[in-house]
Structures are given as C-alpha cells and as structure tokens.
Amino acid sequence: MIWDYFIYFAAFAVLLWIIGAWGAWRGRTALAVGTTIAGLLVFLAFIISMWVVLERPPLRTMGETRLWYSFFLPFVGLLIYGRWGYKWILSFSTMLATVFICVNLFKPEIHSKTLMPALQSPWFAPHVIVYMFAYALMGAATLMAVYYLLRGQWSVLKKVETSSRPVGMLATEDELDSLDQLVRSGLAFITFGMLFGALWAKEAWGHYWSWDPKETWAAITWFAYLVYVHYRQLPSQRTRLSLWMLIVAFVLLQMCWWGINYLPSAQGVSVHTYG
C-alpha cells in the first residue's frame, strides 16, 4: 500500500520546509528557496509514485486532494516569497501544509472513501486547491488587519510612537500597500476558483452558474473583496474602515466555505454538500 510510505516522504518534506521557513525569517534567501524547492521535490516524488502505482492521477479521494493542497501551499508560498519577499509567508504555508498532512496521517480511512461521479473531474483539484490557497491568503490578510487595528488601539492607550507611525495611526502606507498585494493575490485566486468552478459546472451539470447557495455566497465574497480593492483606490480613505472591510469580507468567506451548511435558507438545495 503506497500510503504506508507517505509518512517518510511527508516528514522529510516538512523538515525541509521548516528549514526554509526559518531561513526566510533569518533573511537567508538562498537557503529558504533551496530547501523549500527540495521539500517540494520530495513531496512531488510521492505524488508521482502514487500516480504510477494507482495507474490514475491521484485526485479522486479527499485524502488525495489534501495531498495536492499540501504540495501547492508551499509552492505558492514560494512564489509569493519570491515576488514580495514576505518573511512570514513560508512559515504560514508550511504550517498549513503540515495541518493537511497530519489530517491525512491521522484520518487514513478517508483515503478509501468513495467519490460520487460528479466529483470525478479534472477540474476538481484545481477548483478546490486554488480556493484553499485563496482562503489561506485572505486568512493572512485578515490577521494583519486585526493586528493593525489592535496595535493602533494599543498605541493610543500607551501613547506609543515611532518615527514612521505617530500615535493613532493604524498602519503606514507601506504596510497597507503590502496588505493590498496580499488581498489582490487572494482575489486573483478566488477568481480562479470561482471561474474554474463555473467551467466545471458546465461539464458536470449543464450550466456554468445556477445560483446554487454556494455560488451565491461565492459571489457575495468576491464582490465584498472587490469593495475593498476599489475603496483602496480612493485618493483619501479611512484606514480603520478599510481594515474592517477585510474582516467583514472574511466572515462572509467563512459563510461561503462552511457556514452555509448551517444556514436554513441553503438546506437541501446545494449541489455542494457531499455529506
């Protein structure tokens, strides 16, 4: 059974990614990039072996899908690190990848779980993976927003002042610009996830958009982030309001992700509930 070897590949890959994340914090870019790529190659080796052994792409079960999350999270983390040099992004992506690896290790019975025919599509993995990555980015953006709001409150209470940030200022222009970059990449991935879903729905259900509750909430989330992105283009704006927009948008995103399972208006009518 190929899954029996998973723990060795996974442990080695996670170790390499942790070294990479540490390297990024210490400003050792070459080390960070090198070990993260090495970890990705180790992990990819397992995925390819699995592909060969199963004689089909490993995309069918939830466990196999998590395998791809675990691979893509550090991969896109690396892209963002290369693009903007955020020190924290590799730690964040490593942590998330490890969570998904642990779920696969501790809930192995899910590997054999059946997958209904409608989910057996090449769109399944990209649709879910890019959404999960977008959620991760938006989660990071929300954490930053909360942090800036609390830090601003703190600086008022304690009269803390720095040269770049006078008392009462929530975040500097540079900080807000970085936050924008994060949200814009998240928005790009949300757009991919939503439109991949539309293209898939056409193949599976005959129509690209049916205002299924999941689709309705995906539209709400997408437009909510568009409000933020457009508001940040105004020549003068209130920082507190823009940070709150990110928090509200993330709450709406939670509704879209899992909240609708508990929503009376969505019961029994969504094609997105697979039990």
Q: Which two tokens stand for residue 232?
A: 């940040």
Can residue 136 be called a binding residue for another protein (CB under 8 A)?
A: no
Is residue 217 within 8 A of residue 182, CB to CB? The reply is no
Task: Kindly state whether residue 157 participates in binding another protein, applying the rule CB under 8 A.
Answer: no
Among 1, 30, 157, 269, binds another protein (CB under 8 A): 269
Q: Which of 131, 179, 213, 253 binds another protein (CB under 8 A)?
A: 213
**Residue 204 binding another protein, by CB under 8 A:** yes
Q: How many chain residues bind another protein (CB under 8 A)? A: 53
**234-253 positions binding another protein, by CB under 8 A:** 234-235, 252
Q: What sections of the chain are H helices per DSSP?
A: 6-25, 29-54, 62-84, 89-106, 124-158, 173-205, 213-231, 239-257
45 counts as binding another protein under rule CB under 8 A? no
Closer Cβ to another protein, 49 or 216, answer by number = 216
Q: Which amino acid is at 200?
A: W
- CB of 170 within 8 A of CB of 204? no
| Binds another protein by CB under 8 A, chosen from 106, 233, 258, 262 | 233
Stretch near another protein under the rule CB under 8 A, chosen from 34-42, 146-154, 159-167, 205-213 = 205-213
Q: How many CB atoms lie within 10 A of CB 103?
A: 16
Binding characters for another protein, 167-196, by CB under 8 A (x = yes): ----------x--xx--xx-xxx-xx--x-
- DSSP per residue, 89-150: HHHHHHHHHHHHHHHHHH-GGGGG----GGG-STTHHHHHHHHHHHHHHHHHHHHHHHHHHH
Output 16 or 130, the one with its CB closest to another protein: 130
Half-sphere exposure of 198 (CA within 13 A, CB side): 12
Residues with Cβ within 8 Å of 47's Cβ and at least 6 positions away in sequence, in order, are 58, 67, 68, 71
Window 51-90: contact mask with another protein (x via CB under 8 A) = --------------------------------x-------
Residues that bind another protein (CB under 8 A): 83, 114-118, 120-121, 177, 180-181, 184-185, 187-189, 191-192, 195, 198-199, 202-209, 211, 213, 216-217, 219-220, 223-224, 226-227, 230-235, 252, 255, 260, 263-266, 269
